[in-house]
Chains A and B, each alone.
Chain A
Amino acid sequence: MRLYFKFLAIHLKSAMTYKTSFFLSCLGHLFITGNTFLGVVFLLRRFDTVGGYTLPELALCYATVLAATSLAECFARGFDAFPKILREAQFDRILARPRSLVLQILCQDLRPTMLSRLLQAAAMLIWAVHAGAADWTVGRAAVLALMILCGAAVFFGLFLVYAALCFYTLEGLEVMNIFTDGAREYGKYPFGVYGKGVLWLLTLAVPLALVQYWPLQYILGRGPGWYGLLPLVSLLFLAPCFCLWRHGVRHYRSTGS
Chain B
Amino acid sequence: MKKYLTFFRIRLLAGLQYRAAALAGLSTQFVWGTMEVLIYRVLWREHPERFPMGPEALAAYIWLQQAFLSLFALWNWEWELIDSVKTGVVAYELTRPADLYGMWLVRTLATRLSRGLLRAAPVMVLGALIPAPWGLRLRVSPADFGLFLVSTCLMLLVVCAYNLLVCALTFHLTDPNGVMVVSVAAADLLGGAIVPLPFLPEGLRKFAELTPFGAMQNVPLRLFGGDLTGAAAYRAMGLQVFWAAVLIAVGYALLRAGLRRVSVAGG
Contacts and interface: CB of A to CB of B under 8 A. Distances in A.
Interface in A160-197: 173-175, 177-178, 182, 185-186, 189, 193-195
24 contacts: A21-B175, A24-B178, A27-B181, A28-B185, A31-B182, A31-B184, A35-B185, A36-B194, A38-B189, A39-B194, A39-B195, A42-B195, A45-B201, A47-B47, A50-B43, A50-B46, A174-B28, A175-B28, A177-B28, A178-B28, A178-B32, A182-B28, A193-B42, A195-B38
Interface in B23-57: 24-25, 27-28, 31-32, 35, 38-39, 42-43, 46-47, 50, 52
B84 to A, nearest CB: 20
- Secondary structure at the A interface, as helix, strand, loop or mixed, is helix
B144 interface: no
Interface string A27-43: 11001101110110011
Interface in B196-235: 199-201, 204
Contacts of B46: 47, 49-51
A46 interface: yes
Interface string A68-85: 000000000000000000
- Secondary structure at the B interface, as helix, strand, loop or mixed, is helix
Interface residues of B, number: 31
A46 B50 contact: yes
Given A46-B199, A47-B50, A49-B46, A35 B194 contact: yes
A42 B200 contact: yes
Contacts of B185: 28, 31-32, 34-35
Contacts, number: 82
Contacts of B178: 24
Given A43-B195, A45-B201, A174 B24 contact: yes
A51 B44 CA distance: 10
Contact of B199 (A32, A42, A182, A186): A42
Contacts of A21: 175, 177
Nearest to B181: A28
Nearest to A48: B47
Contacts of A195: 38
A164 to B, nearest CB: 17
Interface of B: 21, 24-25, 27-28, 31-32, 35, 38-39, 42-43, 46-47, 50, 52, 175, 177-178, 181-182, 184-185, 188-189, 194-195, 199-201, 204
Interface of A: 20-21, 24, 27-28, 31-32, 34-36, 38-39, 42-43, 45-51, 173-175, 177-178, 182, 185-186, 189, 193-195, 198
Contacts of A193: 38-39, 42
Contacts of B27: 175, 178
Contacts of B39: 50, 189, 193-194
A173 B24 contact: yes
